[in-house]
Amino acid sequence: MTTSKKLWFGCFMLGIVGCATMSAANRKNITFRYLNSNGIQMHVAEQGEGPLIILCHGFPETWYSWRHQIPALAEAGFHVVAPDQRGYGKTDKPHEIEAYNIFKLTGDIIGLVNALDKKEAIIIGHDWGAPVAYYSSLLRPDIFKALVLLSVPYSPLPRGEGAVPPIQAAKTAGEANGTEFYQVTFQDPIRTEEIFDQDPRSFLTSALIGASGDAPPDSQWNPWSSPGQRQARTQSPVPSKLPDWLTEADLDFYTLQFEASGFRGGLNWYRNIDFNWLHTGFLMDAKISQPTLFIAGELDGVLKFRGDAYERLEEHVPRLSKKVIIPGEGHWIQQENPQEVNRLILEFLKELR
């Protein structure tokens, strides 16, 4: 048996499905350091030894969104690394919009694997971390051997005659029906970071609860809203009661991170959507060849506009292990229901043996 196979076998002999829930005491074993990757300094959280797993967070989050997964996967026999991605937390934050295109973002993760002196990795991504994960898998299948996507399903973007870049298409659609897509709103600093930076805690509370499965019906996140509604929701009042999965301590952590970093870096990812579309034509109709797991919450608003990608996921990902919709949960699936997400990921990893 090769060294690589011995490592994998050892992971499964630990009874990994039983490691799906981790105590706060285990989370204290997470360590932190800085690594140089792709021309920037990345801050990473890590724990465990064994085959490498990279966890890629979304907006507006940091490594902390994986606080329930890091110890569970480490206990199962993996070396788990969750970076603050470019523009977030304690990682470098270039000012230029073009510094956040998909080639920079995937380059950061590929460089991170190299900085860790590893040759292969499993990659897991949520929200914006999902495109980083699937583009990394498409571009470097020699490195990324398996893939888990949370919330955002993979689909090649429409191209060919008559196709236009996504933000341009969303603007046209919004003008036709008097609404505005949230990604269009995010192109405008005056209506985004200039507001969010004034009161990060209020924005984070509103965003986290509004897109979750616990949002009241009248304040659920809708990707399409009138421009006036969109402005009001960026300044919505803090709710009197937090859901069970989101504590005051969690909000304290996120707030401190964004008070220090601001929101510009994360929002610049959205400002490269059309650039990414224009410059990835060489991936037209590309299929993901790696074993893949997809998980989302039943009430995740992303499924409202990526429903076709979800329905056709087997077509675009021939080695899809399964796609799972967790009832009653929303967008922040690995935080809202960490026990079930951990169980599904660990079960998938067990299949990889």
Q: Which CATH number belongs to the domain containing residue 312 in this structure? A: 3.40.50.1820
DSSP string, 80-105: EEEEPPTTSTTS---SSGGGGSHHHH
pLDDT of 114 > 80? The answer is yes
How many C-beta atoms lie closer than 10 Å to residue 187's C-beta? Answer: 17
Whether residue 214 lies inside any domain: the answer is: yes
Residues 85 and 125 in one domain: yes
Residues 289 and 258 in one domain: no
Residues 141 and 204 in one domain: no
- Domain range for 33 is 3-159+280-351
Amino acid letter at 220? Q
pLDDT of 230 > 80? The answer is no
Residues 314 and 227 in one domain: no
pLDDT of 12 > 50? The answer is no
Residues 148 and 32 in one domain: yes
Strands 31-37 and 40-47: antiparallel
Catalytic residue among 84, 127, 214, 300: 127
Residues 261 and 311 in one domain: no
Amino acid letter at 97? I
How many C-beta atoms lie closer than 10 Å to residue 138's C-beta? Answer: 21
Over residues 49-72, the mean pLDDT reads 98
- Average pLDDT over the chain, rounded to an integer: 91
pLDDT tens per residue across span 249-306: 999 999 999 999 999 999 999 999 999 999 999 999 999 999 999 999 999 999 999 9
- The pLDDT score that the predictor gives to residue 209 is 96
Domain boundary among 270, 301, 330: 270
- The pLDDT score that the predictor gives to residue 129 is 98
pLDDT tens per residue across span 131-188: 999 999 999 999 999 999 999 999 998 887 778 999 999 999 999 999 999 999 999 9
Reading the block at residue 286, the tokens are 């590309």
Element (H, E) at 346: helix 338-351
Whether residue 66 lies inside any domain: the answer is: yes
pLDDT of 229 > 70? The answer is no
Residues 243 and 221 in one domain: yes
Residues 289 and 318 in one domain: yes
**Torsion, CA 287, CA 70, CA 207, CA 344, rounded to 10:** 50
Whether residue 87 lies inside any domain: the answer is: yes
Domain boundary among 209, 240, 270: 270
pLDDT tens per residue across span 23-41: 455 667 999 999 999 999 9
Q: Which residue has the higher pLDDT, 13 or 178?
A: 178
- The pLDDT score that the predictor gives to residue 19 is 42
- The pLDDT score that the predictor gives to residue 238 is 56
Whether residue 275 lies inside any domain: the answer is: no
Residues 196 and 212 in one domain: yes
- The pLDDT score that the predictor gives to residue 25 is 53
Q: What percent of the chain is predicted at pLDDT more than 90?
A: 83
Number of domains observed in the structure of the chain: 2
pLDDT tens per residue across span 62-90: 999 999 999 999 999 999 999 999 999 99
Task: Name 4's Cβ contacts closer than 8 Å, sequence gap at least 6.
Answer: 51, 120
Q: Is the dihedral of CA 328, 334, 338, 340 positive or negative?
A: positive
Residues 287 and 196 in one domain: no
- The pLDDT score that the predictor gives to residue 160 is 78
331 as an active site residue: the answer is yes
Buried b / exposed e across 317-346, counting CB within 10 Å, b at 16+? beebbebeebeebbbbbbbbbbebbbbbbb
Closest to 208 measured CA to CA, from 183, 231, 236, 184:
236
**Range of weakest confidence among 8-12, 94-98, 103-107, 311-315:** 8-12
Whether residue 335 lies inside any domain: the answer is: yes
